[in-house]
Amino acid sequence: MNFPSDLHYTASHEWARVEPDGLITIGITSLAQDSLGELVYVELPALGRQFQPGESAAVVESTKAASDVYCPVAGEVTAVNESLSQNPQTVNESPYEQGWLYRVKPSEEAAKAVAALLNAEAYKAQAESNPS
């Protein structure tokens, strides 16, 4: 499994990347997409929607199961990956690049809270000790 070191991770298998403009891009990990299998549908949040940490922000569905995607930080949705409505399997093919789900403008507190998320090494250790 690939867990890029420039990302932050949650125990529920989301990743967060702080962009140069301060926005936070969010997606699911390669472990999550691998466990789900081929995605057939992605439900994304509405632009402008506010989320708190741990709140369900999106849903990914595969032929096996549906799974909530939780927002790792407080913030307002500023962009969604609209290409996923036509090509949800992009999440399987490129979970950390083209398969991102949505972006949030974090609250001031949230920008600091990103540092409290798991780094790649800690997420990998958790994934290996608790396989889904």
Q: What is the CATH number of the domain that holds 26?
A: 2.40.50.100
pLDDT on residue 111: 66
Pair 99, 92: CB distance under 8 Å: yes
The answer to whether residue 91 is domain-embedded is yes
Would you say residue 1 lies in a domain?
Answer: no
pLDDT at 131: 61
Q: Which domain holds residue 26?
A: 8-129
- Reported in sequence order, the residue ranges of 48-119 that DSSP labels E, i.e. its strands, are 50-51, 56-62, 66-70, 75-80, 102-106
User: How many domains does the chain divide into?
Assistant: 1
Residue 123 is predicted with a pLDDT of 86
Q: Is 98 inside any structural domain?
A: yes
Residue 102 located in a structural domain: yes
Residue 120: predicted pLDDT? 85
Cα Rg, the chain, nearest whole Å: 14
Does residue 3 belong to any structural domain of this protein? no
The answer to the question of residue 44 being in a domain is: yes
pLDDT in tens, the chain (132 residues): 789 999 999 999 999 999 999 999 999 999 999 999 999 999 999 999 999 999 999 999 999 899 999 999 999 999 999 999 999 999 999 999 999 999 999 987 766 777 778 788 888 888 888 765
pLDDT of residue 86: 96
Of 47, 49, 50, 7, the residue nearest 30 (C-alpha): 7
> Looking at residue 99, what is its pLDDT?
98
